Amino acid sequence: MVQESNKRRIIFHIDMNCFYASVEAAYNPALKGKPLAIAGNPEERRGIIVTSSYEARAKGVKTTMPLWQARKLCPNLIVMRPNFERYRSASREIFKMMAEITPYVQPVSIDEGYMDVTDVKHLGTPIEIAENLQKQILDNLDLPCSIGIAPNKFLAKMASDMKKPLGITILRKREIATKLWPLPVEEMYGVGEKTAEKLHAIDINTIKDLASKDEYQLKQILGVNGERLKNRANGIDLSPVDPDAVNEFKSIGSSQTLPQDTTNEAEIRGLMLSLADNIERRMKRKQVAGKTVQLMICYHDRKTITRSKKLQSFIEDKKDIVYIAQDLWQEHWNQEPIRLLGITIQDIHDKQDIAEQLDLFTYEKEASKEKLYSAIDQLTTKYGKNPFKQIRNTVVQDQPRTSFQKDFLDDYRK
């Protein structure tokens, strides 16, 4: 379901401000106005900052910064572990409010999404709709957000970043030269650190430089993404607000930073089992299976490699995931200390769409275990963990999973 594209669109990008930290402050008002950070493994020196309040950011605290460095910059920093269920619940309510305005809502992560309000004229002007939504979220949930208003998704995304917190910014195409082009190219949505380095190497330092650069030269260094970025720099983005885009995922992954760099095989295997368990749980929730296993290894010097293996049949069980991941690890690990591991299952398909042939023995074996699996799943749902699971490996403390933000984006419809 997407809007027809033959008329001038009015697109909102809603971006929650310091979402995890704001949710914690809404839950406990004593935290308001304090330098607050959400971090994995706050007891560990190597914990990583997931997000922080504006008070903490004013002291130089940034996302992905090591916790020890953040505490050095801000000695009175309050550090909390993430509470994902709390964030998921808040996110669900936010998207419900958005969906009450228009059915054309596209979540892109737990704390941001797009709305197409082109035909929502009965609720007032675009600025009035934005002000009312912002106020509703603040009044009902005590959470601040910024809203960008523009004729397409890219410009709306850029606009929402221009005023935080609690900003509402309109970015019209005729304002691109004055509002967008002067910005450093690395501040442009879609330009990461490595892309920025490549652009700087050919004297592209601002978005205006990118907008006027030769398309052929951009394609030479960035491929098809060069043309896409040039179009966006000129305010061109034809992608619609698609409420069904959340269902078009092709992979499910989980990654985690270790408490310290390690070569300890028992600890690494324990982490792999933890990652595979997390992936299996999410695949079962979405009723999917995959055919490719990818392993990501980030070493102590931050050098990162990814290796994958395509399988003959679909898998969903953590035992199968771990088996393939460990096989990849043994083949490609260079014995250097590991900082982070990630496992991703790719080539994802709905199980109901997978017409895999099972032989009689396999079928009988799996059917005999179905009641046991069902009972375990019910107990896991009730108690939050598998009561029959024995921990044999080194326990690795929970860290925020990078893919968590994509997991529950259709909850608001339920």
Active site residues: 112
Q: Would you call the peptide bond into 165 cis, given omega within 30 degrees of 0 as the criterion?
A: yes
DSSP letter string, 348-380: -EEGGG------HHHHHHHHHHHHHHHHHHHHH
| Token digits of residue 60 | 């130089």
Residue 111 marked as a ligand binder: yes
Nearest CA-CA partner of 169 in 384, 11, 317: 11
Angle between helices 224-233 and 215-222 (to 10 degrees): 130
CA dihedral 270, 80, 285, 115 (to 10 degrees): -140
Gap between the Cα atoms of 169 and 233, Å rounded: 18
Which helix or strand (DSSP H or E) is residue 15 part of?
strand 11-16
Residue matched to tokens 């960008």: 148
Nearest CA-CA partner of 21 in 144, 134, 133: 144
3-state DSSP call for residue 53?
A: coil
| Token digits of residue 2 | 């997407």
Gap between the Cα atoms of 78 and 34, Å rounded: 8
DSSP E strand stretches across 184-330: 251-262, 288-299, 304-315
3-state DSSP call for residue 18?
A: coil
Residue 15 marked as a ligand binder: yes
Residues with Cβ within 8 Å of 289's Cβ and at least 6 positions away in sequence, in order, are: 283, 314, 315, 316, 348, 349, 351, 354
Bridge partners, residue 147, by sequence:
14, 168
Is the CB of residue 83 less than 8 Å from the CB of residue 40? no
Residue matched to tokens 């083949």: 331
Alpha helices, H only, 50-152: 54-57, 67-73, 84-101, 126-141
Residues annotated in the binding site for Mg(2+), as ranges? 15, 111
